[in-house]
Structure 1
Amino acid sequence: MRVTHTTASDVDVVLPCLDEAAALPWVLERIPAGWRAVVVDNGSTDGSADIARELGATVVHEPRRGFGAACHAGLLASHAEIVCFCDCDASLDPGLLPGLVRPVLGGSADLVLGRRRPRARGAWPLHARLGNLALARMIRGRTGVTLGDLGPMRAARREALLGLGLTDRRSGYPLQMVVRAADADWRIEERDVPYLPRTGTSKVTGTWRGTWHAVQDMRGALRQRPDVRLQGADIR
């Protein structure tokens, strides 16, 4: 794919959202000036969509439940050259996203992930951290890519992401993105980001059971081995 010149303001931020009314004001306030927030409502019942709209975000409704379904709906609804992903629960600061975007804009990286660094007790429960560590080891064994975290904060070029042909619509979506990017010889980098206690209850890794289901989804993504090189995924 031909890399075009992109300005630092040509960025959309996809925010998957399920009942995050309490966190949304802080999250949207932290979106960098000139960037567009795309809040993907995944069936909220607490008025999240109305709050996001009132605060100036673009709101997309995705009726099919699932983290991947929400993320991909946001990717499809975006139109900027660069797309970022960030959780909508105030555990990650969108104001730090420019640090992830710069390597992509500068051409030194194709996919940049935020490596979470807990800043308070309870920000990253033990079961979630252990599950993340196990997945990082599996990624290294499957792709040869060494990561410290499979963090939800990330940045890449929109057309290249679409070229990966992502199909997972559950918790395996972020892992499938990394695996398919590695298969396409993308340059994958990490940047440290503070990880704060989330607002509200986690829908994915808040319990051992939730973490177990997430790990199973992601293990399924790891087992996928494309028979042919992904069309349009190699961006160099």
Structure 2
Amino acid sequence: MPDVILPVLDEARAIPWVLERMPPGFRPIVVDNGSTDGSAEVAAALGARVVTEPRRGFGAACHAGLLAARAEVVCFMDCDGSLDPRELPDVVAPVAGGTADLVLGARAPVARGAFPIHARAGNAVLARAVRRRAGVAITDLGPMRAARRTALLDLGLRDRRFGWPLEMVVRAAAAGWRIEERPVAYLPRVGRSKVTGTVRGTARTVRDMRKVLA
């Protein structure tokens, strides 16, 4: 029964859509990272476990969720409506079955505007850098992913900003993990993304991730 860690910052409008699509046996842990729109209350009212992480940062929220999780296998995904939780079983299967240590959901846009060109270009640059430096054949640093909880804790991830997803892949590769991708649909998110919604947000994310590579 995997735990699903959902970092949240003002996602009250999207939370119901996400939680109602959570597959049976997958337990949502909503990590509120300073929302002012009642996200935590909405999630709690719908039965999700809510964790509060006052330190702002995507990595800080993900790490708080990882510490709160108790399942052997944990998943991470955005809670903005851009990813469908019903695809989680396909991402989890190789980890649960013992054929992979880390599975990333490679995003395939299914609607116009789901993956803006500036965000897609930044992602491609980073994925290429990871392939070259870490020897991992990935195409996307996707926000939907699955791994074993204790193994992730043992990696000792330190970044608490937007470099956290990249650091996970780089450290996992250095530790000899088997890393795979599974295609997942990428939908237009509810509201504007803090990461891909603007060129500035994408540039900030790329900057954080380049620090990890450095």
| Partner AA of 2:209 in structure 1 | M
User: Which residue is 2:186 aligned to?
Assistant: 195
Matched, 1:103 2:86: no
User: Which residue is 2:27 aligned to?
Assistant: 36
TM-score by length of 1: 0.90
Structure 1 window deviating more from structure 2 (99-108 vs 110-119): it is: 99-108
TM-score by length of 2: 0.99
Which consecutive residues of structure 2, in runs of 5 or more, have no partner in the other structure? none
Residues 2-81 of structure 1 correspond to what in structure 2 (within 5 A)?
10-81=1-72
Matched, 1:176 2:184: no
Moved runs in structure 1, 4+ residues, more than 6 A? none
User: Which residue is 1:230 aligned to?
Assistant: none
User: Which residue is 2:156 aligned to?
Assistant: 165
Matched, 1:222 2:213: yes
| Partner AA of 2:101 in structure 1 | D
C-alpha distance in 2 between matches for 1:100 and 1:35: 12
User: Which residue is 2:126 aligned to?
Assistant: 135
C-alpha distance in 1 between matches for 2:127 and 2:25: 34
Q: Which is higher, the Rg of structure 1 or of structure 2?
A: 1
User: Which residue is 1:90 aligned to?
Assistant: 81
C-alpha deviation, 1:34, in angstroms: 2.1
C-alpha deviation, 1:95, in angstroms: 1.1
**Could you give the per-residue CA deviations for residues 22-54 of structure 1, whole angstroms, max 9, x where no partner exists?**
000010011111221000000000000000000
Equivalent residue for 1:117, pick from 108, 126, 134: 108
SS at match of 1:96: helix
Which consecutive residues of structure 1, in runs of 5 or more, have no partner in the other structure? 1-9, 224-236
| Partner AA of 2:161 in structure 1 | R
C-alpha distance in 1 between matches for 2:40 and 2:69: 17
C-alpha distance in 1 between matches for 2:129 and 2:76: 23
SS at match of 1:16: strand
Q: Quote the sequence identity (%).
A: 70
C-alpha distance in 1 between matches for 2:25 and 2:97: 19
- Are the counterparts in 1 of residues 128 and 139 from structure 2 also a CA contact under 8 Å? no
User: Which residue is 1:232 aligned to?
Assistant: none
SS at match of 1:63: coil
User: Which residue is 2:200 aligned to?
Assistant: 209
C-alpha distance in 2 between matches for 1:161 and 1:94: 21
**Could you give the per-residue CA deviations for residues 82-141 of structure 1, whole angstroms, max 9, x where no partner exists?**
000010001000111000111011111000000000000000000000000000111012
| Partner AA of 1:61 in structure 2 | T
